[in-house]
Structure 1
């Protein structure tokens, strides 16, 4: 499940607006939403839902998971200040904090995110992740992941089989991005250490 280019552009415009003075009330309504049902009623969610890019797509009663996915996306993105699309969202979580040898988002916290068992739990775990990133995240990749999570959860509850390659399932994608980010940082650090050692000889 991937959002279209039109939907991603609409999401970015909405996110930019709720982070402006004009949209601060909408952002505040979402930041107060601790659970999915509260997000449904938030003014900020309605403003995103009613955009042409999402109104019909998320209004299909036969695909209610889309409505719930968008509500979680809105509630989480209300805590993101800056959109950074240079790396996937969970790769950002797996990056080492400056001067540290551990990821910004610990492996234990990442496993809790992977084990999220409900919409409310997913919302809580993603909000915690955004806080650990200090409000800077890849919002379009995060949104893609949330929609994938809800689609796969809906298929599981309906006992449907999704025609996807193993690496396309969201838990696999998230894990690959998270752990590969840490490996890249390790490789860069080792390279820097080798260079420093060579220069000191």
Structure 2
């Protein structure tokens, strides 16, 4: 399995297994897709099922080591919107890929910059959900989950001290790297 900054191999396996089970649990998927904020997901039985399938350090209380409840909720709510796992490209790379041959990038540079500069959790959640829809639901779920957790980590704790470790720099490298040809 690929190395990610926020997801270890156990996380990757659990996320893939949970996501692959969604077509057989259409009611849960619908519950997760209907939420308008990541906080709303905390009140759903679908999220409780998600947490049971994830490693024990997912859904911890503030101050405990692991992925806190609100962050896990956002991951579940966004990943439930993904229709097809595209493991060939990272999340940011897929934003730069044209929907049709010779066309424009799936996401414009302006929208890409707006996503990077989201100021609140709710703003980020709304934008990232729109991005999944913009991509037709075809996204690398592991890269997407890692990106969400990375964004939330920087939101709560501050960006990394080394620029190359900051999510905006990583995303920009992947997004603009598609235009080198």
Q: Select the structure of larger CA radius of gyration.
A: 1
How large is the RMSD of aligned CA atoms in angstroms?
1.8
Long gaps (5+) in structure 2: none
- Matches of 1:65 and 1:118, distance apart in 2: 18
Q: In structure 2, what is the equivalent of residue 191 of structure 1?
A: none
Rate the CA distance shift 1:107–1:98 in 2: closer, same or farther, 3 A: same
* Runs of 4+ residues deviating >6 angstroms: none
Q: Give the conservation status (yes or no) of the 8 Å contact 2:57–2:67.
A: no
Long gaps (5+) in structure 1: 188-201
1:169 partnered with 2:166: yes
**Which residue, out of 49, 52, 56, partners 2:51?**
49
Cα distance, 1:87 vs. partner? 1.1
Cα distance, 1:52 vs. partner? 4.6
**Which residue, out of 9, 12, 18, partners 2:13?**
9
Q: Give the conservation status (yes or no) of the 8 Å contact 1:30–1:43.
A: no
Aligned partner of residue 61 in structure 1, secondary structure: coil
**Which residue, out of 159, 175, 178, partners 1:178?**
175
Q: In structure 2, what is the equivalent of residue 39 of structure 1?
A: 41
Q: Give the conservation status (yes or no) of the 8 Å contact 1:65–1:154.
A: no
Aligned ranges 1:184-195 → 2 under 5 Å: 187=181
Q: Give the conservation status (yes or no) of the 8 Å contact 1:95–1:182.
A: no
- TM-score w.r.t. length of structure 2: 0.89
Name whichever structure is richer in helix by fraction: 1
How many residue pairs were aligned? 176
- Matches of 1:146 and 1:175, distance apart in 2: 15
Aligned ranges 1:43-192 → 2 under 5 Å: 43-53=45-55, 55-63=56-64, 66-156=68-158, 162=160, 164-183=161-180, 187=181
Cα distance, 1:148 vs. partner? 0.8
- TM-score w.r.t. length of structure 1: 0.80
